[in-house]
Amino acid sequence: MISKITVDQVYETARLEEVIGDFVQLKKSGSNFKGLSPFTDERSPSFMVSPVKQIWKDFSSGKGGNVVAFLMEHEHFTYPEAIKYLAKKYNIEVEETEQSNEQKEQANERESMYLVSEFAQTHFKEMLWNTELGKAIGLSYFKERGFTDETIKKFELGYCLDQWDGFTTAALDKGYKLEYLEKTGLSIVKDDPNNPNSSRKFDRFKGRVMFPIHSLSGRVLGFGGRILTNDKKAAKYLNSPESDIYHKSKVLYGISYAKQAIAKEDNCYLVEGYTDVIQFAQRGIENVVSSSGTALTAEQIRLINRLTKNITVLFDGDAAGLRASLRGIDLILEQGMNVRVCTFPEGEDPDSFAKYNELEEITAYLAKNSKDFIQFKASLLVKEANNDPIKRADTVRDIVNSIAKIPDRIQKEIYIQECAQIMNISESVLFNTLAQIGKKDIADERKQQKEEQKAFNVVRNEVEREKVDVQYVLERKIIESLMLYGTNKEEFEDFILKENEAGDLILEPESLEIKVYEKIYLDLQEDEIELANEDFRKMYTKLIVALNEEEDFSITNFVNGLDQDMGNQISSILMEEERYKLDNWESKEIYPKKKEVGVAQLVSETILTLRCFLIKKRMGALQKTTEEPNQDNREALEEIMNYIQLNKLLNQKLNRVLS
């Protein structure tokens, strides 16, 4: 268990915008920050962060909460892991008690796989630095690649001894279960043909140098291992198999080290191999990641898209599959990103080029030789076409196909103009070609829209049949008012129900200066109103206690003390207003009235409206009793008449006309 002192210190020190900024590119939006949702695939920002309230809300997925909730949602951390991550980020010493064996056993399967992977990383590092074979084979290899001790330690490189089950035995001796060693792919388990009741265990990465693959937050997800012998039957590089924690298509090698540099430089260099990343980083270019030898995927591109809109793809000078790699560029364009391409001299790759050139030479080369994708694709395909008119026509069509994938119309037009100049062909022909390519897409899109419209009509009809839950909306408004303005002292115009000389009921105004939470509490107590929604009822009780007991009530501290579900709900309530700031109304010269201007009016109207709603509800219940046969309804009818008069008075105060 982590001590309360540590938890409190973490909450006091951690800045939500800094933590989320490590994972999402945030832009200032008034007093808040906004960015693309890290939970859904979107092109318009719906993710809001409030530094003042220290809460976030993702309107596309509905998720929200405080800094710990973000890490638990985004990185799938447990609560203690999130606290430890923040403690490490802000150099806070973690005080905790030793876990019992029972507590260790209760760790869920996913967490057990993370723990096994972290042990493996530590073990492989120890084998590299502290064994004779590790130093003679593994360390020597890394030194030959030109890596310094500092770089090897930074990227936590390691070595798996060339033994059948050296690592597996070590892990089992430390108490890690074979089940998780097998699920992470670190160990291979096969039935023993000589003994049906036992199994044989092997190290997947035996005799290989090890490259740990980390998540965006730095957790070990899997490994890449390179063999150092000339065994033609064995793969040169071997990756961890797919597992619950490792999905190749969603991971980029080096992203945890590069994320801050990518956001700072507003550009990401994309390479092919582990050593390309390491060599560049060692030279001082840190905004570089690798797809780890796999074909680039949309998920990997979206991972970069959270940090920057700009990607520069670096290709080997003699890459045999260069044309095939162009498909990756089209994929980047589809995600609405800006892509440039740079190739190295023949016989060079990013690793060797960085190894034998200084930082100034590398940056100068990249600046000079990085081309936009049109220039690059045209120069590459024109070489292939030579003077063949048919091949040249195919080349033009190929380039226009790529342009067609760009979502932004202005960018499309600019690229068409550029393509026309490079290929020496009229813009009108290219625009016609673009239109032809788009016809099928438009037809498919219309067909899909018709199908979606049918589905929408069904849903709309269902929604139209549903009535708005008025009481839910009003109770939610009460919670919002308590959270935002609970400690505000406001002047309220209260109304006392009295009988005038003619015997009619009237509401006599009375001025009252009181705190918002006291006003709400007294009004609900007076009418004996209990919130109907169970979640709101719990929030209301907690809020009234906190506002009454804490002299300096803090939204941040209050949210931090809630469980994740309630924290998410509170965030949704508090950030609802921010949803409309995403549309940037001020830029359209529309200036919405700020709610703070009329807090007293807002609170009074909410309470009055709730009273009216409950009165109508009570009248409806009384009405039903009068419909029962053989019953004296005089008392019920009298009560209904009194409620009608009271409802009329309340609605007059709300400036409403009753039919």
CA 457 → CA 445, 449, 461, 463, 587, distances in Å?
18, 12, 6, 10, 34
Contact 337, 310 (CB under 8 A): yes
Cα angle, residue 43 at apex, residues 38 and 48 outer, rounded to 5° = 50
| The CATH number of domain 262-438 is 3.40.1360.10 | yes
Q: Which of 14, 113, 110, 114 is nearest to 68 (CA)?
A: 14
The number of residues making up the chain comes to: 659
Residues of the chain with pLDDT > 90: what percent?
A: 33
The single residue listed with the structure tokens 């915008």 is 17
Please give the pLDDT value at position 590: 47
The amino acid at residue 80 is: P
Q: Which of 280, 343, 293, 342 is nearest to 317 (CA)?
A: 343
| The CATH number of domain 110-246 is 3.90.980.10 | yes
- Take residue 157 and report the two structure tokens written for it: 């490189």
Please give the pLDDT value at position 207: 95
Q: Is 394 helix (H, G, I), strand (E, B) or coil?
A: helix
- Distance CA(530)–CA(535), nearest Å, equals 12
- Take residue 501 and report the two structure tokens written for it: 């000389």
- Distance CA(87)–CA(426), nearest Å, equals 61
Please give the pLDDT value at position 388: 81
Please give the pLDDT value at position 284: 96
Burial (CB < 10 A; 0-12, 13-18, 19+), residue 223, is buried
Domain ranges of the chain: 4-89, 110-246, 262-438, 470-653
Task: Collect the ranges in the chain with pLDDT lower than 70.
Answer: 97-107, 293, 317-325, 386, 440-468, 494-499, 503-507, 509, 577-597, 622, 626-659
Q: Which of 539, 512, 532 is nearest to 523 (CA)?
A: 512
Q: Dihedral of CA 203/204/209/214: which sign?
A: negative
CA 174 → CA 115, 167, 442, distances in Å?
12, 11, 60
Please give the pLDDT value at position 527: 73
Which residues, 6+ apart, have CB-to-CB distance to 20 below 8 Å? 26, 33, 35, 49, 56, 67, 70
Q: What is the dihedral angle through the alpha carbons of 94, 98, 103, 109, rounded to the nearest 10 degrees?
A: 50
- Distance CA(23)–CA(85), nearest Å, equals 14
CATH of 4-89, one of 3.40.50.1980, 3.90.580.10, 3.40.50.1010, 3.30.465.10: 3.90.580.10
Please give the pLDDT value at position 204: 96
What kind and span of H or E run contains 290? strand 288-290
Please give the pLDDT value at position 242: 94
Reported pTM: 0.70
Please give the pLDDT value at position 390: 85
